[in-house]
Amino acid sequence: MDPYKKKIPITRPSVSTLEIEYVNDAIQTGWGSKCYDYIHRFEKDFAGFQGNQYALATSSCTGAIHLALMALGVKEGDEVIVPDITWIASVEPVLYIGAKPVFVDVLPDTWCIDPAKVAAAITPKTKAVIVVHLYGNLVEMDAIMEIAKKYNLRVLEDAAEGWGSEYKGKKAGSIGDAGVFSFHGTKTISTGEGGMLVTNQKEVFEKAKILNDHGRDPKKGRAFWMENYGYKYKMSNLQAAMGCAQLERAVELIAKKREIFSWYKHELTSRHYMLNPEYPHTKNSYWMPTVLFDESVALDREKLFAYMKEKNIDSRPFFYPLSSLPMFNPCNNAVSYSIYERGINLPSYHDMKYEEAKYVVDTITEFVALNNN
């Protein structure tokens, strides 16, 4: 099979004339007293989309996680339970605070945190649980919230990859004590870089807002006065302008992701492949279509990536277990350590065509056939 005529990117933002119009307006008019207009609009509209009372725009999802953990009361010496399979940004803010991440295993079907393993990992030092809606897949939130209530734990939903996914009719990120999102250029909704913190708890929101403004409390009424230091994870008005436009196109952007996934599901019919699941009580936004190869398939993942590159196809590896990285200690998380070498992320950029998805599947099928004779 000859290489595709042009490169098939893994993902990239969908930018329409609406985004250009809003950003141009922010450049031309969004200064002085109007320098926060698009930020406040984006926060208000995003909270409405999520069904949350409060939203705080940030410069990154990592910054949103940091602010959320501090606002939720996580302190140095506390333990925070996290899934072993996720991007490291889910865990780095735990380390910023001086708390300890406790890595637990994931479920073999959703690849999201295993509630039973969460319950088993709780100690007197456990303060919070970070759950991650991996690749758009949904965490079993009812079980997590029940555990949190029983043991008086805070729950932070990392929905960086789950924007637009739904669990029992509720948006991913809206169920826990707080939720966080990413608007990196790879995400379904993008501001280039950026993030958002959402919550229904006024106290959490106000703490996060003060922390995000160098520690300044507007209720004190004293300019440039802080009683404690804070941080600056602020989003710019220009980024927020793009975010407002992207959010107006939410239905379109999510629908296209779901359509692209349906193409892969139609073409990848072999029992030797597993794709992102969607159970009856969930709606998966399929941020990153992911194929997990059965253990019976002989697979050298690096050779597959090289083969796909030769065919003009971008792809990404399934996340490594975080506990396998040099700065941590390996854990006995059997599922996490068994699946990461068998998983790859597939292209799903917004303007993708059916023929491109079919070509991706044909390339994978060809590689497997050549290496399993």
User: Tens of pLDDT along 217-232?
Assistant: 888 877 888 888 999 9
User: Global pTM?
Assistant: 0.96
Query: Which residue is associated with the tokens 């050779």?
Result: 303
| CATH 3.90.1150.10 segments of the chain | 250-370
Residue 324: predicted pLDDT: 97
Active site residue 187: yes
- Of the two residues 179 and 219, the one the predictor is more confident about is 179
Describe the strand order of the beta sheet including 316-317 as a list of residue ranges.
273-275, 290-293, 343-345, 316-317
Q: Tokens in use for 143?
A: 């079980």
Give which of 102, 111, 110, 106 is closest to 129, Cα–Cα.
102
Summarised one tens digit per residue, pLDDT across range 34-85 is 999 999 999 999 999 999 999 999 999 999 999 999 999 999 999 999 999 9
From 117, 127, 171, 187, active-site residue: 187
* CATH architecture for residues 17-248: 3-Layer(aba) Sandwich (3.40)
Topology classification of domain 250-370:
Aspartate Aminotransferase, domain 1 (3.90.1150)
Summarised one tens digit per residue, pLDDT across range 81-93 is 999 999 999 999 9
Burial of residue 32 (CB within 10 Å: 0-12, 13-18, 19+) is exposed
Residue 356: predicted pLDDT: 97
CB 54 within 8 A of CB 38: no
Summarised one tens digit per residue, pLDDT across range 90-138 is 999 999 999 999 999 999 999 999 999 999 999 999 999 999 999 999 9
| CATH 3.40.640.10 segments of the chain | 17-248
Residue 217: predicted pLDDT: 84
Query: Which residue is associated with the tokens 């975010």?
Result: 243
Determine the Cα–Cα distance for residues 79 and 101; give it in Å rounded to an integer: 6
Summarised one tens digit per residue, pLDDT across range 274-332 is 999 999 999 999 999 999 999 999 899 999 999 999 999 999 999 999 999 999 999 99
DSSP code string of 318-329: PPPBGGGSTTS-
Determine the Cα–Cα distance for residues 113 and 264; give it in Å rounded to an integer: 25
Q: How far apart are the first and last CA of the chain?
A: 18
CB 162 within 8 A of CB 287: yes
CB 121 within 8 A of CB 81: yes
Summarised one tens digit per residue, pLDDT across range 137-147 is 999 999 999 99
The pLDDT > 90 percentage for the chain reads: 91
Mean pLDDT of 354-366: 96
Q: Is 244 helix (H, G, I), strand (E, B) or coil?
A: helix
Mean pLDDT of 163-184: 98
